Amino acid sequence: MSGGDKLDFEIRPNPARVSATDRAALLANPGFGRVFTDHMVTVRYAEGKGWYDARVEARAPIPMDPASAVLHYAQEIFEGMKAYRAADGGVTMFRPYANAARFNTSAARMAMPALSEATFVDSLHQLIEIDREWIPDGEDGSLYLRPFMFASEVFLGVRPANEYLYVVIASPVGAYFSGGVKPVTVWVSPDYTRAAPGGTGAAKCGGNYAASLAAQAEAAERGCDQVVFLDAVERTYVDELGGMNVFFVYDDGSIATPPLTGTILPGITRESVIALAEAAGHRVEERPVSFADWQADAASGRLREVFACGTAAVITPIGRVRFPDGEFAIAGGEPGTVTMALRQQLVDLQRGKAADPHNWVHRVL
């Protein structure tokens, strides 16, 4: 199933936009994922017809038949990225074509049609342009973009659907974790795993996140901010957090992160961090890291910093680790210099404040 060429979008402005006064009040403290802009993008797909009916229209509920395939067989994928207000007043995105490529990789794994990268990125442009005034100011503020696709065909039967709906919505957001950048506490789940070899761990599909919720609730009950999953085969090696990749920084300046073996989401922030760290002179290894080694290296002082990364949280230091038999701190539980330097470099890149040798920053407006 081909992604097709770039589509022309029909623009239908929302006649009942939020007033400037009400919008300013919402942007003063948007939180994360609770406030939404005036518009959304929709594009439809039908087998034999391809992608069609591309629109920018008022954000509204989506009519859905009770027999829509997604409700029964979970054919659904999504992406997450941000638009930033640049230092010169313009708008930037960070590596949207990488998101477009990953979207199609996820689609292939879930037996869904590809969407051309040009149409994917243009859909983001269209929504950002019409809802530009919703982008918050400040270093922690951004416009979170959520493209997603689901099986909309009305049928009951275990097979790939023949009809799909692609949608993009946008949400002005502040910091992912309340209180800004500070070390978080994580819970190492003894019972739950996120994904198994041959499964959907490398696809960005909703089922992976649904499978993490019981473990995340378990983490919250123990006063932790996030859950850490171990591998599904040996229950020995660190995979990733519930929604973020993880990195380990050692006393010799080297950095390790679990390898992409099909059970871990290939994070775009993860890939960017590896490149930035190597450019800064760090030796970065993609290798298995056992939980036993994590604990032992923290106790000996060999392990100096641990951080998680992802689109929503950017880079977040991990200060304490809890597990059924106890807990331990990472170098006193304080943010590390390598962690914070990489975070600042990434933030500056995303907002067009730093030189961009990788051509990652995508100018929108």
* CA geometry: angle 29, 32, 34, nearest 5 deg: 85
Q: Which CATH class is domain 10-173?
A: alpha beta
Residues of the chain within CATH 3.30.470.10 domain(s) are: 10-173
For domain 184-351, give the CATH number.
3.20.10.10
Contact criterion met (CB below 8 Å) for 309 and 270: yes
Q: Which helix (H) or strand (E) holds 297?
A: helix 291-300
| pLDDT in the model for residue 3 | 46
Residue range 23-75, pLDDT digits in tens = 999 999 999 999 999 999 999 999 999 999 999 999 999 999 999 999 999 99
pLDDT confidence band for 178 (50 / 70 / 90): low
Cα dist from 109 to 25, 39, 102, 106, 205, whole Å: 42, 29, 11, 5, 10
Residue range 90-122, pLDDT digits in tens = 999 999 999 999 999 999 999 999 999 999 999
State the DSSP string of 129-172.
HHTGGGPPPSTT-EEEEEEEEEE--B--SSS--SEEEEEEEEEE
Residues of the chain within CATH 3.20.10.10 domain(s) are: 184-351
Average pLDDT of the segment spanning 156-181 = 90
Average pLDDT of the segment spanning 250-276 = 97
| pLDDT in the model for residue 333 | 85
Report the 10 Å Cβ neighbour count for 34. 11
pLDDT confidence band for 321 (50 / 70 / 90): very high
